[in-house]
A and B are shown apart, each in its own frame.
Chain A
């Protein structure tokens, strides 16, 4: 079955610390992978996406993610977190050519001043 797992429901980090949000997927074919961020009262915003090629992808707001096929993972990282990064983060996987994404349950990030 196709699925996306985000093992961490909540993560708390101090401002300036590094961040890694985990995402594991189960998908039959080569997936398209996405990370979205949702701030309170706002829609989901695309941070980055992986379709093919270089397995380390750069996104907006200083985020990056690495696709590891052998581990079926697509973890999101940021070297130095800012207070404005506090939000909920969703990993998603989808087939090429459609927008029928499968979303993870999200990870809520709290940033301590």
Chain B
């Protein structure tokens, strides 16, 4: 199957700083990627849809100025958590659509963000 690489796998930062998370499709091109957030013992919540070359589409209740998404190439989408606060601490996961492959949706391994 196709591979989606997410980096870093774990990051700790101070309150007020910004953190960038990368999501790369390693062996396929992904015009569309998704970003999710997962709290402990809760389900994955879709945050936004990232489209290559255009603005991301955010789900209701997600602050677009807090969670900046850039999808500048067909293999890379980034999520930047700006001015992070402890309540932003969470597990963030990306996925990418692989057009033409049967499974079609592939997930990264996630990033655990801890804001001190």
The dominant DSSP class at the A interface is: loop
Q: Is the CB of B97 within 8 A of A99?
A: yes
B-chain residues with CB within 8 Å of residue A4 when the two chains form the complex: 43
CB proximity of A58 to chain B, nearest CB, Å: 14
Of B12-20, B66-74, B76-84, B105-113, the stretch lying at the interface with chain A is B105-113
Q: Is the CB of A104 within 8 A of B43?
A: yes
A2 in contact (CB, < 8 A): no
B42 in contact (CB, < 8 A): yes
Q: Is the CB of B107 within 8 A of A103?
A: no
Q: Is the CB of A101 within 8 A of B46?
A: yes
A105 in contact (CB, < 8 A): yes
Interface residues on B, range: 20 to 34
- The distance in angstroms between the C-alpha atoms of A43 and B1, with both chains bound, is 12
Residues 43-100 (chain A) with a chain B CB within 8 angstroms: 43-46, 90, 99-100
Q: Is the CB of A105 within 8 A of B43?
A: yes
B103 in contact (CB, < 8 A): yes
User: A41 with B9: in contact, given A9-B41, A105-B42, A106-B43 (CB under 8 Å)?
Assistant: yes
- The distance in angstroms between the C-alpha atoms of A100 and B105, with both chains bound, is 11
Q: Please, what's the 1-or-0 string for B82-116, where 1 marks a CB less than 8 Å from any CB in chain A?
A: 00000000000101010000011111111000000
User: A44 with B42: in contact, given A99-B34, A99-B105 (CB under 8 Å)?
Assistant: no
Q: Sorted from nearest, which 3 A-B pairs have the closest CB atoms?
A: A43-B107, A44-B107, A103-B43
